[in-house]
A and B are shown apart, each in its own frame.
Chain A
Amino acid sequence: MLSRRAFLRSGVQTSALIALAPTVPAFLTHTARAAPAERDGRVLVAIQLEGGNDGINTVVPFKDEGYAKHRHTLRLPTDQLLKINGEVGLHPAMADAARLLENGWLAVVQGVGYPNPSRSHFRSKEIWESARVDRREGSRKNEAAVDTGWLGLALDDGARPADKAPDAVFVGTEDLPLALWGRRAVASSLARPEDYFLALQGQANPAGVAAANGSDLAAFVTRHTLDAYATCGQMADVLRAKGRGAGYPATELAGRLEVIARLLKGDVGTRVFYTTQAWYDTHAAQSPEHGRLLGEFSGALRAFLDDLAAAKLADRVAVLVFSEFGRRVRENGSQGTDHGTAGPVFVAGPGVRTGLVGKMPSLLDLEDGDLKMGLDFRQVYATVLEDWLGLPSQTALAATFKRLPLFRT
Chain B
Amino acid sequence: MSMRIHNEVSGSWDAYKPSTQVPWTLRHVVHLHRRAGFAATWDELQRDLSDGPGPSIDRILAGKSRLRVPDDFAGTADLLAGEALRAVDTGRLKAWWVYRMLWGPDPLGEKLTLVWHNHFATSNAKIGYPTAMWRQNQLFRKYGRGPFGELLKAVVHDPALLLWLDAPVNRKGRPNENLAREVMELFTLGIGNYSERDVKEAARALTGWDVVHDSFRESASDHDLGEKTILGHTGRWKGDDLVRILLEHPATARRLAWRLCQMLMGEDAVDEVALDALATGLRTHDLDIGWGAETILRSQAFFDAKNMGNRILGPVEYALGSAHALEYFDPPPSGLVLAEWTARLGQDLFYPPNVGGWPGGRHWLSPRAIIGRANFAAALVEGNLSRPAATLDWAALALRHGKARDLDSLITFYGQLLTGTPPSSGCRKRLQAVVGPKAGAEPKAAARAVALLLASPEMQLT
Which residues of A line the B interface, CB within 8 A? 16, 20, 22, 50-51, 118-123, 136-138, 140-141, 143-144, 147, 166, 170, 174-176, 187-191, 195-200, 202-209, 211-213, 215, 217-218, 220-222, 224-225, 227-229, 231-232, 281, 283-285, 332-334, 336, 338-339, 368
Contact = CB atoms under 8 A, between A and B. Distances in A.
A204 B430 contact: yes
A198 to B, nearest CB: 6
Q: Which of B175, B193, B196 has the most CB of A within 10 A?
A: B196
A217 B311 CA distance: 8
B54 to A, nearest CB: 27
B450 to A, nearest CB: 11
6 contacts: A122-B191, A199-B378, A203-B452, A221-B460, A338-B175, A338-B177
Contacts of B367: 166, 176, 187-190, 224, 227-228, 231-232
Contacts of A122: 185, 191, 356
A152 B294 CA distance: 41
B168 to A, nearest CB: 8
A218 B365 CA distance: 12
A220 B171 CA distance: 48
Contacts of A176: 363, 366-367
Contacts of B370: 224-225, 228-229
Nearest to A191: B368
Interface residues of B, number: 72
Contact of B309 (A144, A196, A215): A215
B426 A120 contact: no
B332 interface: no
Contacts of B434: 16, 20, 202, 204
Given A120-B185, A202-B434, A204-B430, A224 B456 contact: no
Nearest to B379: A199
B225 interface: no
A205 B427 CA distance: 6
Contact of A334 (B169, B266, B310, B375): B169
B359 interface: yes
B105 interface: no
A225 B460 CA distance: 10
Given A144-B268, A284-B176, A218 B423 contact: no
Contacts of A224: 365, 367, 370
Given A204-B456, A334-B174, 11 more contacts: A143-B361, A166-B367, A195-B371, A197-B375, A200-B375, A204-B427, A206-B423, A206-B431, A218-B457, A221-B365, A229-B371
A339 B181 contact: yes
B171 A333 contact: yes
A334 B170 contact: yes
Contacts of A51: 354
A20 B433 contact: yes
Contacts of A220: 362, 365
A200 B455 contact: yes
B309 A213 contact: yes
What 6 pairs between A and B have smallest CB-CB spacing? Answer: A333-B174, A206-B427, A137-B192, A334-B169, A208-B424, A228-B367
Given A206-B458, A221-B312, A232-B367, A121 B354 contact: yes
B461 interface: yes
B355 interface: yes
Contacts of A217: 266-267, 310, 312, 362, 461
Interface in B64-95: none
Contacts of A144: 267-268
B353 A207 contact: no
A380 B430 CA distance: 49
Q: Which of B371, B423, B431 has the most CB of A within 10 A?
A: B371
A221 to B, nearest CB: 4
Contact of A207 (B363, B372, B427): B427
A290 B121 CA distance: 23
A122 B452 CA distance: 37
A207 B428 CA distance: 10
B190 A334 contact: no
B15 interface: no
Nearest to A170: B366
B248 interface: no
Contacts of A336: 166, 169, 176
Most buried by B among A22, A202, A208, A339: A208
Contacts of B458: 206, 208-209, 218, 221
A140 B358 CA distance: 13
Nearest to A122: B356
A176 B361 CA distance: 12
Nearest to B451: A200
Contacts of B185: 120, 122
B308 interface: yes
A220 B363 CA distance: 11
A302 to B, nearest CB: 27
Contacts of A227: 367
B431 A339 contact: no
B402 interface: no
Interface in B280-329: 308-310, 312
